[in-house]
Amino acid sequence: MPIPFPFSAVVAQEEMKRSLLIAAIDPSIGGVLVFGDRGTGKSTAIRGLAALLPKMRAVDCTYQCDPEASDDALCEDCRAKRAAGRTLKSRQVPVPVVDLPLGATEDRVIGALDLERALTKGEKAFEPGLLARAHRGFLYIDEVNLLEDHLVDSLLDVAASGQNLVEREGLSVRHPARFVLVGSGNPEEGELRPQLQDRFGLSVEVKTPQDLPTRMKVVRLRDAFERDPNAFVEKWKRQDGKVRRQIQKARELLPNVEVPDATLERAGELCMKLGTDGLRGELTLIRAARGLAALQGDTEVLDSHLKEVATSALRHRLRRDPLDESGSTSRVERAVAELFGE
């Protein structure tokens, strides 16, 4: 398995790094969509974050269930064990990060009949797919805008319910599949279906650095990593450890972070000003601001937190305005400046 580039060594993509950290702290935000130029560190940052995430406690079952979860969040085997009064034995395991390749079949993604057992033993058994492997972790889709429509439909169903229902070849299986969806891509290669785009909590635009010192720093770091990956990772081990501890503390603090009515009112005013459809934008904005507050060690969500995450939470939820030629990022930034008096 290749050594991932350290997350803390990724340069000049602060919005992307912040959004990924917030999603790691509060998975209910709904994932991160990263669009931008090729070669700007999109997949590098995602794989780097996965490598430094704190380990999680999981039951030794196919779906790595949470031993503290309620019955409806467990797989059938774990529910049956708990109902029989048996202890769900667990262990510390790395957070799963699963790649969903563009060429994957629907059977590979959602699961299907285990043909080997069917042919050799005559048993009908379920072979879990990539969605099962990603439960409680991250599902990463590179070039997400090129994903085939039938796979998008499957992802939408699971992302909405947190459950994967498979009914085929005489099988009927339902299993938990809650994961943080992370997609990356280049918008020049095709647009993302609006239904899937809306499922991403945060949207980030990454661009090639335009100042010479930053470009030189990126090239030097990448070159040093490729010449001696082990030495480079060791050099950045302390910084990555600091980020890991920051994530752990933020997760512990998150349930105690308060959202005052004044902040909630500001969030509503901003979404109304931008004309976002539905209330998902406001919910995501508040959750992202709360995640950022926890990341920064604050116990109350302030206007400063809202301003910092507003663009990421709302830029992909705006209707196209034929009378306004400015991009969605500029529209959000302008609305934030007007509302907060900057």
What pLDDT does residue 313 have? 93
3-state helix, strand, coil in the chain (%, to 5): 50, 15, 35
What pLDDT does residue 121 have? 65
Residue 20: inside a domain? yes
Residue 239 clears pLDDT 90, i.e. is over it? yes
Q: Which distant-in-sequence residues (6+ apart) come within 8 Å of 268 by Cβ?
A: 282
Q: To the nearest 10°, the Cα dihedral for 39, 45, 47, 48? A: 130
Average pLDDT over the chain, rounded to an integer: 87
- Domain containing residue 166: CATH number: 3.40.50.300
Same-domain pairing of 150 and 292: no
- What is the domain extent for residue 280? 255-340
* Tokens (6 digits) for 326: 């400015």
Q: What's the pTM? A: 0.88
Q: One of 79, 215, 280, 334 is an active-site residue; which one?
A: 280
What pLDDT does residue 194 have? 78
> Which of 206, 223, 247 corresponds to the end of one domain?
206
Residue 237: inside a domain? no
87-119 pLDDT, tens digit per residue, is: 888 999 988 888 888 888 888 888 877 766 666
What pLDDT does residue 190 have? 78
Confidence label for 191 from pLDDT (cuts 50, 70 and 90) = confident
* Tokens (6 digits) for 149: 């429509």
35-52 pLDDT, tens digit per residue, is: 887 777 888 888 898 888
Residue 69 clears pLDDT 80, i.e. is over it? yes
Residue 36: inside a domain? yes
Same-domain pairing of 260 and 162: no
Is residue 280 part of the annotated active site? The answer reads: yes
Rounded-to-integer distance, Cα 121 and Cα 115, Å: 10
Plot region of 172 (φ>0 → left; ψ -120 to 50 → alpha; else → beta): beta
Same-domain pairing of 265 and 170: no
Higher pLDDT among residues 228 and 145, named by residue:
228
- Domain containing residue 259: CATH number: 1.10.8.80
266-321 pLDDT, tens digit per residue, is: 999 999 998 887 788 899 999 999 999 999 999 999 999 999 999 999 998 887 66
Confidence label for 123 from pLDDT (cuts 50, 70 and 90) = low
